Amino acid sequence: MHGAPDEQQDTFEWLWSGAWLPGLPERVREPAARFVIFAAVAVVTLLGYAPFVDSRGEAYLEASFTRTLAALAATRGLDSAISLAQSSEVSFSFGPGGSLGIGQALDPVNDLIEQYGALLLTSTTALGVQRLGMQISRTLGWWLFLPALAAVAVAAVSGKKRQPALLSWGRRLFAIALFARLAIPTSAWLDSLVASQFLEANYQQATAAVAATTEKIEQAEDGAGDKPWYERFNPVDYVGDRAQRLYAAVADVGESIVNLAIYFTISTIVLPLGTLWLLSRLSGAFFSARAP
């Protein structure tokens, strides 16, 4: 009986083997069934799921790219403000003379900011690679599935010895086509859900802290000129007051920068790689388990 699966036959295996095509020669049933299934899945994928996930994945990548560039600009502003504070010196003489600087204690924060800026450049590159991959997969579109369909079509007219190998190659090529077309936008969409759920609040707080710190440093520098001349004449008090304001301004920015570094590392590097790996494993397990 070829019209319906028996009690012990899995429905997927029944469809995959071509038992539902009794009007075709037995040698052609399995290749024809796979061709129809692959073509149907390709149509549903490209006309249904792909546009949905493309729009959401592209929106997330664009937003992440804009956010990373904005963070890089804010970091450069903070780095410039700290560098300006570090360059401020007041010279005074006690006998042979001396020089007193107020920015040396800011070196660790400045180094941290520079490393964070390098990380942002890496994140920007990673996002650019993802955007390029999405554009390439979208442009190829239907062409990605043609090798798989061609292998199955050739299997239909091949001998029994070559047919299993061609069907196996068709299955593998179809899995590769699905992964190449959907992996990056699906990964970006899933990443957006995870980032918005677990990372967004810390990002907003850290970004606000960095902006506030830059403003405080600039105000500390601008406020130095408001001192009366007799206070500015005493270099020790003058430098000590400026140092106190600067140190108070940068007291908590280190933690905020670390939180931002964690956010961009996870959202632009760790999550995409982890999601792509998971999707590849799921895809491989599904096709290897379902089709011999």
d(C-alpha 33, C-alpha 21), whole Å: 8
Hunting for tokens 């810390």 — which residue is that?
A: 202
pLDDT for the residue 260:
95
d(C-alpha 187, C-alpha 169), whole Å: 26
**3-state SS, residue 98:** strand
Query: Could you read off the pLDDT of 183-202 as tens digits, one per residue?
Result: 999 999 999 999 999 999 99
> Torsion over CA of 93, 98, 103 and 105, rounded to 10 degrees?
-120
Q: Is the pTM of this model over 0.95?
A: no
Strand-pair partners of 91:
99
Strand-pair partners of 89:
101
d(C-alpha 159, C-alpha 107), whole Å: 74
Query: Could you read off the pLDDT of 198-248 as tens digits, one per residue?
Result: 999 999 999 998 888 888 777 766 655 455 544 444 444 445 566 666 666
Residue 42: pLDDT band with limits 50, 70, 90: very high
